[in-house]
Amino acid sequence: MNSLKTERTRVKRIPERGHYDKQTIYSIIDEAIYCHVGINHNDSPVVIPTIHARKDDTLFIHGSAASRLLKSVQSENNMCVTITLLDGIVLARSAFHHSLNYRSVVIFGNGKIVEDADEKGHALKIVTDHLIPGRWEDARQPNQKELDATTVISISLQEASAKIRKGPPGDEEEDYALPVWAGVMPIAVTKGELISDPVLPETVEIPDYLHEKSKHHKD
**187 vs 206: CA distance, rounded Å:** 29
E strand or H helix at 151, and its extent?
A: strand 150-156
Mean pLDDT of the chain: 89
DSSP assignment string, 22-87: HHHHHHHHHH-S-EEEEEEETTEEEEEEE-EEEETTEEEEEEETTSHHHHHHHHT--EEEEEEEEE
Residues 163, 19 contacting (CB under 8 angstroms): yes
Overall CATH class of domain 15-187? mainly beta
State the Rg of the chain over Cα. 21
Q: What is the pTM of this model?
A: 0.89
Arithmetic mean of pLDDT, 168-183 = 96
Cβ burial of 47 (10 Å; 0-12, 13-18, 19+) is exposed
Q: Is 14 left (phi over 0), alpha (psi -120 to 50) or beta?
A: left
Q: Which residues of the chain form CATH 2.30.110.10? A: 15-187
Arithmetic mean of pLDDT, 166-174 = 96
pLDDT in tens, 113-142: 898 999 999 999 999 999 999 999 999 999
pLDDT in tens, 179-208: 999 999 999 988 888 999 999 999 999 998
pLDDT in tens, 62-100: 888 777 776 677 666 688 999 999 999 999 999 999 999
Inform me whether the pLDDT recorded for 9 exceeds 90: no
pLDDT given at position 217: 47
